Chains A and B, each alone.
Chain A
Amino acid sequence: DIVLTQSPATLSLSPGEKATLSCRASQSVGNFLAWYQQRPGQAPRLLVYDTSHRAVGIPARFSGSGSGTDFTLTISSLEPEDFAVYYCQQRRSWPPVTFGQGTKLEIK
């Protein structure tokens, strides 16, 4: 199974700052990596798929990059609604589809 390791576990930043979230795969997933946002009490929301493609309705401040085993989700300027938990997910080798353990983005 492909293991996805996200870092940091918790990221404390202020609104307006830039956030950089990392996801590392135990083996290459090509570009088959997605990112989801989950706010408290809500279902996950697709942000980015296939490394760098923003989903419909996702603001341009969210961007994804990387390839192979190392991926990054960048939020260029944090808005109050961006403070949430973020998960990466791979579909390169399955079953099983796997998720990272999550990065909690909290207000500093």
Chain B
Amino acid sequence: EVHLLESGGKVGQPGGSLKLSCAASGFTFSDYVMTWVRQAPGKGLEWVSSISNNGDRTYYEPSVKGRFTISRDNSNNTLYLQINSLRADDAAIYYCAKDFGSGNFVLVWDNWGQGVLVTVSS
């Protein structure tokens, strides 16, 4: 059974940094594109970033490009999201999600973690 478990959420200060992790199990992690999707309180879903199965290609939503870095450690089955220059509008639940199909970017997500909350407050 696929399991995705996010961690690292906290209260961050504007301009600060934090790093989210997503521990994956139940599938061959290195075969799949992985993605972060976020949801601001009471709002809809927003795609944040995706990374290829071997980590050589990354893509970002324009408002986070240059501030967020997605990465992965296939030897430890873990996905990461480094968030720098934290802004108030970054406050959200961050979900990691597994691509539906293996290999190339499918960008349909059949398994999601339970999400981790990032709060921004001074």
Contact = CB atoms under 8 A, between A and B. Distances in A.
Nearest to A48: B108
A99 B44 contact: yes
A95 B107 CA distance: 10
A98 B114 CA distance: 21
B89 interface: no
B11 interface: no
B45 A99 contact: yes
How many chain A residues sit at the interface, stated as a range, is 20 to 34
A87 B112 CA distance: 15
A98 B47 contact: yes
A62 interface: no
B47 A87 contact: no
A41 B99 CA distance: 22
Interface string B97-109: 0001000001111
Contact of B45 (A49, A55, A87): A87
Interface in A59-95: 87, 89, 91, 94-95
Given A44-B95, A46-B100, A91 B44 contact: no
Contact of B113 (A43, A45, A55, A96): A43
A91 B107 CA distance: 6
Nearest to A43: B112
Contacts of B106: 91
Given A43-B113, A44-B95, A34 B45 contact: no
A49 B44 contact: no
A98 B63 CA distance: 13
Interface of A: 34, 36, 38, 43-46, 49-50, 55-56, 87, 89, 91, 94-102
The 3 closest A-B pairs by CB, nearest first: A43-B112, A91-B107, A97-B47
7 contacts: A43-B112, A46-B100, A91-B108, A94-B47, A95-B47, A99-B45, A102-B44
